[in-house]
Amino acid sequence: MTDHSSRSHAVLSASGAHRWMTCTASALLEQQFPDTTSDAAKEGTLAHELAEIKLRHYFFTLDFTKRKLNAAVKKLKEDSYWNSEMDGYTDDYLDYIKENALAFSSKPFVSIEKRVDLSTWIPDGFGTADCIMLSGNTLSVVDFKYGKGVPITAEKNPQMMIYALGAWAEYKFLYPIEHVHLAIVQPRISSEVSEWACTIDELLEFGEQVKAKAREALTEESVFTPSEDACRFCRARTVCRARADKNTKFGAFTATDPKILSNTEIGKYLALGEDVARWLKELQDYALSKCLAGEKIAGYKAVEGRGSRDWVDVDKALSAIKESGVPEELLYERKPLSLAQIEKLMGKKEFESCVGDMVIKNPGKPALVKSSDKRQAITTKITAKMAFNEEE
């Protein structure tokens, strides 16, 4: 089984391609900063290990028996980042892989946690694809993402396309690859799998773009092009001067009307300010860490925040309160778990079978998103047609 926690990363990693292909100068700049690991990343690593052993048991049962699977799962459950819902989410990933494999006209060749050589396009480049399947003239690459913060689409996804390039280079002599299918399973955000397909010619054309950007990123020709997406996970994002310059120019936009903003101007302000709030919060966190380390930040200092109260021994405290005459029923509240919590408890399939017809989906609260978002636009404006239908 792959040791996910010790995966090595190239300077120009496939997972960071969306960043260094947009802001080529970021690749070398962020090498000055440590690659720290968050609790969310450690949880994701554990989920990937669970997903991997489930796939190995399904596709290679003779080598990875039920006994080995159970032993491996038992070991993973000892990890402090384990939680019961992880089992259900990795089952979602496994179910999609099964369906994808069965959709081929013949039994596919499957490679799990495959390290692919990317040096044809990226100097010293390599990466690890979660699952690669090949059958006939079709290559399928599937990625499992356990994050629940940022939805990721497979459409023209640089990381996925780079993995596909590596898989093509590895297996092109064995399979006449003409069609490429990419999929991202992100079950904690959506039950819908993001899928996208392209031809091998389109993939190889993208490979030339990767080659040019990779060459630029490792030379003095690289340029800083900060943006919300490019900066999001960059290790240099907090103290990068290019990002600071971009965000401090936010107030330089001049409106045409000195008193009232037009809708066009509002759109421009929103676009200009996309990264400002996040940058300021990250800058505050960074400044706090420096103050706590004994360094000076002009005009600021670290202080102890407002504390909170807690019981030394909650059971002993409640017993004392009951003995004082307070009725026990006043000290506790009884309420059902939320719909989502019960679904996780039962599992999606059992939940749907038992009470699926008793669930309604309420409309979500209106949200402002970019025009590129695929969801249909809504409005509260009453049109003449709507008014006429209502009268009828």
Q: Give the mean pLDDT of the chain.
A: 89
Confidence band (pLDDT; 50, 70, 90) for 3? low
For the segment 309-326, what is each residue's pLDDT rounded down to a tens digit?
999 999 999 999 999 999
Alpha carbons 272 and 147: distance in angstroms, whole number: 27
* b/e per residue 353-378 (b: at least 16 CB within 10 A): eeeeeeeeeeeeeeeeeeeeeeeeee
Q: Which pLDDT tens digit goes with each residue over 161-219?
A: 999 999 999 999 999 999 999 999 999 998 899 999 999 999 999 999 999 999 999 99
Which of 46-60, 220-234, 299-313, 347-361 reaches the highest mean pLDDT? 46-60
Query: What are 75-126's pLDDT values in tens digits?
Result: 999 999 998 889 999 999 999 999 999 999 899 999 999 999 999 999 999 9
Return the exposure string of 320-340: e unless at least 16 CB atoms fall within 10 Å of the residue's CB, then b: eeeeeeeeeeeeeeeeeeeee
Residue range 27-46, pLDDT digits in tens = 999 999 888 778 888 999 99
Examine the pLDDT at 386 and tell me if it is beyond 70.
no
pTM above 0.85, yes or no: no
The pLDDT of residue 371 is 85
Which residue, 315, 292, 312, is CA-closest to 302? 292
